[in-house]
Structure 1
Amino acid sequence: MSEPTIIFFLLICIVILLITVLYQQFAFRTGIQKKIQKISEKLKEITDTNSSERVMVFTENKELMELAAQINRLLENHLKVKADYCRSEIASKKMLSNISHDIKTPMTVILGYLEIMRINGTSTDEMLGKIEQKAENVMELINQFFTLAKLESGDMDIELSRIDVCEVCRESILDFYGILTNKNFQVDIDIPETSVYVHGNKEAIQRILFNLISNVIRYGADGKYLGISLRTDKNAVFIDVIDKGKGIDKNFVASVFDRLFTMEDSRNRNIQGNGLGLTISKNLALQLGGDIILDSTPNIKTVFSVKLKKMSY
C-alpha cells in the first residue's frame, strides 16, 4: 500500500474519531439538558401543587445525582417549615379564640352589673366589688398575653445576675401563706439554710414560682398538699414544686406547656384557665438558660422541676 493511501486512511480514521467524539459530547449534553429539564418540570409541578413528592433522577452522572439530592433536601426543609407554620397558625387561632372567650365572659358580667345599676339607679359595694374583680381578671389576662408575646418575639430583655434562689423560694412561699392556711394545705418546705446561688433573674424566678404555686392551689387542691424543695447537682439547681392532686395523664405531659393547652377530661385537671401561665413559665425558664420538667403520677404526686444554672461563687 502506497504512502498516500495510508495517509488517506489515517485521515479518514481521525475524522471518524472526531465525529464520534463530537457526537458523544453532543449526545451527553443533550441528555443532561433533557434530565435538567425534567428536574425543572417536576420541581415546578411539586411547588405548584404543594405536593410532598421528591425529584427522581435516573442517571449515572454524579453531579446530577448530587443536584437532585440537594433539591430534595430543600423540599424536605420547605415541608418542615410549612408544617411548623401551619401548627403555629392553628395555635394562634386557638389562642385568639380562647382569649376572646376568656375576655368576653368577665366583660359580660361587668356589663350586666352596670346595666342593673343603670336601671335601678343604685349601686352596692357587692356589685362594685364583683365588677372590680372581673375587670382585674381581664387585665391579668391581657398582661399575660402581652408577656407571652414579648417572650416569644424576643423583645423582653431579662438581665441575668447572681441570685440567692433560697431567698426567692422563701419569699414566694410567704406570698401564699394566707391562701394556703385558709385552704388547709399541708406545706412541706425543704430549702437549705445556707445560700444557693444561680445565674438568673429574681423577678423571672418569682414569676415562675407564682405561676406554679397558683397552679397547685387552683388545680391540685384535691390533694391539700404543697411541697417546695431545692436540690443541686454539679451544674444546676432544681426547684421542685409538688402537689398530690389529680395530676396529669402521661399522654398529656408533653403538651402541658403548649399555648392554651387545656384538658377538658373531667378525670384530669385543667392546667390553666387561659392556658398561658405554664407557657410563660416555660419560656422564662428557657430564657434563664434553664428549663421546667414535669413528672406526674395521677392522684399520687405531680412535680414541676425548675432547672436553673448553678453558680459556685
Structure 2
Amino acid sequence: MRRGKGLFNLRSSLMSKYLLIVLSAIVLIPFAFPLVAVILSLSSGPIANPGPSNPYQSASRLEKMWHQEAARLKGASPEDVNAALKRIRSQYGKARMFWVDGGGTLRLALPDNPHLPAKWDASYTVAYMKNAVNGNVFTTIAFIGGSVKSGFMAFQVPRSEMGSSGTGIGARYGTILVSGILLILGLFLFVSLLFFYRIRKRLVRLEGAMTAPSESGIPQPVAVTRTDEIGRLERSFNDMIRQLERSREREAEEEALRRDLVAKLSHDLRTPLTAIRGHAFSLRQEPLSDKAKESLGLIDRKIDSLGRLIDNLFSFTLLSSGKYPYHPQRIDIVRMVRTHLAGWYPAFEQAGFEIDLDLPESSVYWEIDPQWLERVLDNYLQNVLRHAKSGRYVGMIVSDRGGGSIAIADRGPGMTGESDEKGAGIGLSIAALMLKDMKLRSDVRSGPEGTVVFILPE
C-alpha cells in the first residue's frame, strides 16, 4: 500500500510535472529543426535546390580556362583575339578582361575601363601583375599563343563572386539551427511561465482564504481540485479549519455550561445565606455571652464576604457573556466621585482611616455608564478597606488633564503584601472588564509604601 501511494504521489507531484516539461523540451529539440526547415522552405523556396553552379567558384579552373584560350590564339590576328575575348565575356558576364599586344598597346578592354593606360611598358606591367596578386580582385594573366612577343591578356573577377554556392545553403542551415533552438527555448519558457503562473494563482487563492476570516473569526475552507503538494496543503488547511470549528464549538458549550452553573449556584446559595443571616439576627436578640456575640459577628462578616463573592461571580458571568446591562451617558466624574466617596465615609471612619479628597474646580465629563463606574470604584475602595487597613489612609484625586483621570491611593503593604482577607481577585477582574467595555483603562502602581490605581481613558 505504501508503495502504491508513493507512486501515486510521484505522478501527481509538481516536481514530476516540471521534470516532464524539461524532458519534453529535450526530446523535442531534434524535431524542431525539420519544422523550421519546412517553414523556411515554404517562405523562401526549397533549401535543397541551390540553383545553378557558380562559374567563378574555382580559381584553378578559371586560370586553366584562361591559359587554354590564350594558347589557342597562337598566330591569331587582333580581330580574332577581340572576337575570342567577346565570346569569353558572354560566358563570364561578371568578369573583366583586356589584352595588350606585343608593342604594349591596349587593344581591347571588356567592359571599357578608363583607368587602364593605353600604352604599357615593362615596368608598369610588372607592377600591375604584382599588385593584382593579393587584391580583392582575382586576376590571371596569360601570354597569347604562349609567346611574350604576341602580348598578353588578363582576366579579372571580384573575389566576392567566387564564393561557393553552398555558402548560402550553409547559412540557411545555420539559421535553421538557431531558429530551432530558439523555438524550443521559447516554448519551454512559455510552458514554464504558464506552469508557475498556475502555481502562484493557487497559492494566492490559498493566502486570500487564510487572511479573510468569516464572521466567526475562522477562515472559510477552500476547494481542493488537485492531489499535488498544494492540494495536500489545501486539505491540511481545511482539516485545521474543521479542528478550529470543533474547538470553538466545545469552548462555546463549556462557556455556556459554566455560565449556567454559576447562575444556578448564585441563586441556590443566596437562599441558605439569607436563612443563615436571619437565624443569626434571631440569635442576636437572645441573651448571649461575649464569646457567643463575637462568634455571631464573625458569622455576619463571613456571610457578607460570601454574599459579595456570589455577586461578583454572577456579575463576572454576565460581563463575560455580554449580558450585563450597559447604558452610557455623559456624566461629570468630579460630582460623581464626590457623591460616591461620601457614601463610603462611615465605613472608612469606623475603620479609623484618614480620608483625602482632591477635586478640580472645573467639571470633567466622560461618556460612560455611571452604575458601571460606581461598581468599579466600589471594588477598588473595598479592596482598600479589606487589604490596606494597616495604612489607615485612602485618597481619591480627580484630574482634568488629558481627558481626565481618577486616582485611588492607599498606604497599605502593596499588592504583593500579605492580607488576612485576600480573595481570588474576581472583583479586580470585574473592574478590568467594565473599564475595557467603557473604553477606559487602569494603571496600577504598587509598592511596599502603598498602591495607587489610576483610571483614565484609553
TM-score band (shorter)? 0.5 to 0.7
Identity across aligned pairs (percent)?
19
- The answer on 1:303 being equivalent to 2:452 is yes
Distance 1:303 1:90, change over 3 A: farther
Aligned CA distance change for structure 1 residues 179 and 244 (closer, same or farther; 3 Å): same
Pair 272,194 (structure 1): closer, same or farther in 2 beyond 3 Å: farther
Change (3 A) 1:27 1:179: closer
C-alpha spacing 1:295/1:107, structure 2 compared with 1 (3 Å): farther
How many residues are matched?
A: 233
Counterpart position of 1:123: 286
Alignment of 1:75-90 (within 5 A): 75=243
Does residue 214 of the first structure (1) align with residue 382 of the second (2)? Answer: yes
Sort the Cα spacing of 1:181 and 1:111 in 2 relative to 1 into closer, same or farther, 3 A. closer
C-alpha deviation, 1:146, in angstroms: 3.0
Is the contact made by 2:445 and 2:453 (CA closer than 8 Å) also made in structure 1? yes
Alpha-carbon deviations, 1:193-244, whole Å to 9, x = none?
110111112222122112211210111111112121223554x432111112
Equivalent position amino acid for 2:431 in 1: S
How is 1:174-189 mapped onto 2 (pairs within 5 angstroms)?
Answer: 174-189=342-357
* Distance change in 2, residues 1:86/1:229 (3 Å): same
Query: Is 1:246 aligned to residue 413 of structure 2?
Result: yes
Distance 2:249 2:414 in 1: 34
Q: Which deviations, in whole Å up to 9, do the C-alpha atoms of 1:170-202 show, x marking residues without a partner?
A: 112211223323333233333211101111122
Write the mapping of 1:59-98 to structure 2, written as runs, cut at 5 A: 61-69=229-237, 71-72=239-240, 75=243
Report the Cα offset of residue 308 of structure 1: 3.6
Alignment of 1:146 with 2:314, yes or no, is: yes
Displacement of 1:71? 3.6
Mapped contact 2:12–2:228 kept (Cα < 8 A)? no
- The Cα shift of 1:132 comes to 7.6
User: What's the TM-score, normalizing by structure 2?
Assistant: 0.40
Aligned partner of residue 209 in structure 1, secondary structure = helix
Moved more, 286-295 or 272-281: 272-281
Alignment of 1:11-90 (within 5 A): 27=8, 61-69=229-237, 71-72=239-240, 75=243
- In 1, the alpha carbon distance for the partners of 2:450 and 2:301 equals 32
Native 8 Å contact 1:106 1:137 kept in 2? no
Secondary structure of residue in 1 paired with 2:404: strand
Tell me which residue corresponds to 1:8. Answer: none
Checking the alignment, whether the CA contact within 8 Å between 1:103 and 1:138 is kept in structure 2 is no
Q: Which whole-Å CA distance do the structure 2 matches of 1:232 and 1:29 have between them?
A: 72
Which residue is equivalent to 1:170?
Answer: 338
Write out aligned runs for 1:4-15 (5 A).
none
The residue type paired with residue 428 of structure 2 is L
Give the SS at the match of 1:241.
Answer: strand
Rounded to whole Å, the distance in 1 between the matches of 2:411 and 2:335 is 25
Aligned to 1:262: none
In 1, Cα distance between equivalents of 2:335 and 2:387: 26
- Are residues 156 and 84 of structure 1, via their aligned partners in 2, closer, same or farther at CA, if it must alter by over 3 Å? closer
Q: 2:436 is matched with which residue? A: 286
**Deviation of the 1:168 alpha carbon:** 1.0
Task: Assess, with a 3 A threshold, how the Cα gap between structure 1 residues 243 and 63 changes in structure 2: closer, same or farther.
Answer: same
Q: Which amino acid aligns with 1:242?
A: A
- Compared CA separation, residues 215 and 246, structure 1 to 2 (3 A): same
1:226–1:241 CA contact under 8 A, matched in 2? yes
Q: Equivalent residue for 1:190? A: 358
CA distance in 2, matches of 1:270, 1:94: 26
SS of the residue 2:414 aligns to: coil
Partners of 2:314 and 2:320 lie apart in 1 by 10
Asked whether the 8 Å contact 2:398–2:405 carries over to 1, the reply is yes
TM-score by length of structure 1 reads: 0.56
Does the CA contact (< 8 Å) of 2:368 and 2:438 recur in 1?
yes
Q: Return the alpha-carbon distance in structure 1 between the equivalents of residues 432 and 326 of structure 2.
A: 14
Report 1 or 2 for greater relative contact order, CA contacts < 8 Å, sequence distance ≥ 6.
1
Unaligned runs of 5+ in 2: 1-6, 14-226
State the match for 1:268 in structure 2: 418
1:48-90 CA-partner distances (Å, limit 9, x unpaired): xxxxxxxxxxx97223234325544665786798789889989
The amino acid across from 2:286 in the alignment is S
The CA distance in 2 between the partners of 1:216 and 1:241, in whole Å, is: 9
Once residues 30 and 112 of structure 1 are traced to their aligned partners in structure 2, the CA distance between those partners, rounded to angstroms, is 83
Q: CA RMSD in A?
A: 4.7
